[in-house]
Amino acid sequence: ATPVSILVGTGRAAEMGVLFRRGDALQRLSEARWVAFDKTGTLTEGAPRVTDLILADGWTETEALTLAAGAEARSEHPLAAAVVARAREAGLTPPRARKVTATPGRGLSAEVAGKAVLIGNARALDEAGIATAPLAAAAADLAAAGRTPVWLAVAGEAVALMGLADPERAGAAETVAGLRKRGLGVAMVTGDLRATAEVVAGRLGIARVVAEALPEDKLAALEALRAEGTLAFVGDGINDAPALAAADVGIAPGGGTDVAIEAAEVVLMQDDPRGVLRAVALSRAVMRNIR
Ligand code: ADP
Ligand code: MG
């Protein structure tokens, strides 16, 4: 490709809301065999809501939400924001948590109103030796509906279970279908529960799912895809930066965090997954004209 034709191509792309920050990304994207997407915030809206609250015997919604929100007020996770919002909607003021420890890919523990609180996924409870049995069937139902189960344990006992829903973005399914039509493989990468992730992937038409992945697992999974062909990765979060850098082409949606945008070579000016499809189509059109 000549420098001039690349320049013209990137200029046209910019007019269409796709910013190629490096000319060679245009060529690499045109050669992509795989597009892997971060789930939360990229394929979904990334602003989950608490849709279900299931209590163990003897617990009230007020007690459970107060302790849960006290701990989650100290976390920056999107799931945490949903729990705090739910408590505030119920007119509750989360008490100030102490001794807060976040565990990546699991959740966090804290002391809230003098009680030992653990909030997070089943893995977090398992690792703390806390039985999930009484509410496990309800958790499976939530996951089967595509919701993320969030557990609350107090003083070593599971006392509540919440279901959090994060709707797919408009245009996400259309984007997956369009990429597949163009012969690309599409994968979804997430730290979320496998059962939940599979339901969301099913709705979007994605067959390859990497779920329950810790940050290092995500990178290993992307390396495995890369071994099968040129890989583009689409992600919006601070925690997506390593994956954006590791992929052959990193793509960040316009609404992404500064860290993601910094790490990406392609930036979409709109916060719309269809921009990925447009970027791929454009890169191919430019490279076709050049050859
Ligand atoms: P991703 O960014 O792909 O969602 P994370 O590593 O951030 O992956 O989270 C993985 C899982 O860990 C979440 O789906 C959730 O089950 C659990 N988790 C992490 N942080 C929290 C939190 N603050 N509150 C509740 N659950 C959490
Ligand atoms: Mg994300």
151 and 67 inside one domain: yes
Q: State which ligand 1 atom lies nearest to the alpha carbon of 105.
A: 6
Residues 200 and 110 in one domain: no
Is 46 close to ligand 1, i.e. is its CB under 6 Å away?
Answer: no
Identify the pLDDT of residue 52: 98
- pTM for the complete prediction? 0.93
94 plus 146 within the same structural domain: yes
Model pLDDT, residue 8: 79
pLDDT digits (tens, 9 = 90+) for 94-121: 999 999 999 989 999 999 999 999 999 9
One domain, residues 175 and 285 = yes
Mutate to test the pocket of ligand 1, among 86, 121, 132 (most ligand atoms within 8 A of CB): 121
| Residue nearest (by alpha carbon) to ligand 1 atom 14 | 192
Q: At residue 142, does pLDDT exceed 90? A: yes
Q: What is the pLDDT of residue 149?
A: 98
Q: Using the 3D structure, point to which of 165, 191, 211 is the last residue of a domain.
A: 165
- 246 with 226, same domain: the answer is yes
Q: Is 236 a catalytic residue?
A: no
Span 6-23, pLDDT tens digits: 787 888 888 888 999 888
Among residues 130, 165, 200, which one ends one of the domains? Answer: 165
CATH number, position 145:
3.40.1110.10
33 is in which domain, residue-wise?
A: 3-45+168-290
End-to-end CA distance of the chain: 7
From 42, 77, 86, 214, mutation site for ligand 1 pocket: most ligand atoms within 8 A of C-beta:
77
Name the domain count of the chain. Answer: 2
186 and 237 inside one domain = yes
Say if residue 16 is in the same domain as residue 105. no
pLDDT of residue 85: 98
CB distance 137 to 122 below 8 Å: no
